[in-house]
Structure 1
Amino acid sequence: MRFDHVGVATRDAADLADLFDGLLDAPVAHEETFDGMGVVFLELDDGGYFELLEPDDGGAIADYLDREGPGIHHVALATDDLPAALDRARDSGVDLVDEAPRPGAWGHEVAFLHPRSTGGVLVEFVEH
């Protein structure tokens, strides 16, 4: 597995994108509305991304922001075999949020591991 992106919950993705572009020279690589939120991917020099998550109307990110405030929401790791990665996590005793891959942003397949099993970190596996 390799680092893919860090997901950041924010109430204003455009402002945060401008900040990170100026600060990190991280231009917008992709934007979409997905699953009740605006999603903006900023490309880093090493090929990784910052994924900015802005709630559209309610939904999980709005709930997260109300509960936790803005900041890091999840860390994503890329895999070439998402079902095998989930099997490995399950076999290791990790609680899964997603028992099977599901559609994610940018047309990728994704699955999340529950933070109670991963040291308080919401981990996303992503297959491009």
Structure 2
Amino acid sequence: MHIDHAGIATNDAVGLADLYVALLGCEPVHSETFDGMDVHFLDCGNGYLELLEPVEEEGAIARYLENNGPGIQHLAFATDDAAAALDRARGLDIECIDEEPREGAWGHEVAFLHPRDTGGVLVEFVEH
């Protein structure tokens, strides 16, 4: 596995994308509205930044921003088999938020692990 992307919660995904493009030379590669949020992916050469802006008041990113403010919301790791990655986590007694992979942004299969079992970090497995 390797780091696929860092998910960053923000109230202004377009503005933050513009900043990272200017600051880091990242390239915008994908945008969509998905699961109550606007999602913007920036290619940084060796991984992505995923900028997450809520478009619904009740969504996960809106709750995250309300409780924590803007910042890194999760780290995602690329895997060839998200279901096997979940099984490995269960074998280590890590609580899985998703019992099985589901469709995520960009049409990828994703699954999340609870941060209380992963050092306070919301971990996502991404199967491209």
| TM-score in same-fold range (> 0.5) | yes
Aligned-residue offset at 1:82: 0.9
For 1:37, give the aligned amino acid: M
Q: Using the alignment, how far apart are the partners of 1:10 and 1:122 within structure 2? A: 16
* 1:9 paired residue number: 9
For 2:74, give the aligned amino acid: H
* Unaligned 5+ runs, structure 1: none
What aligned pairs does 1:35-46 form with structure 2 within 5 A after superposition?
Answer: 35-46=35-46
TM-score normalised over the length of structure 1:
0.98
Q: Using the alignment, how far apart are the partners of 1:119 and 1:2 within structure 2? A: 18
* 1:53 paired residue number: 52
* 2:70 paired residue number: 70
* 2:82 paired residue number: 82
Q: Using the alignment, how far apart are the partners of 1:64 and 1:74 within structure 2? A: 11
Cα-Cα RMSD? 0.5
Aligned-residue offset at 1:78: 0.4
* Unaligned 5+ runs, structure 2: none
For 2:56, give the aligned amino acid: D
* 2:122 paired residue number: 122
Q: Percent identity?
A: 65
Aligned-residue offset at 1:19: 0.4
Aligned-residue offset at 1:45: 1.6
Aligned length: 127
Q: Using the alignment, how far apart are the partners of 1:127 and 1:29 within structure 2? A: 18
Q: Does 1:107 align with 2:107?
A: yes
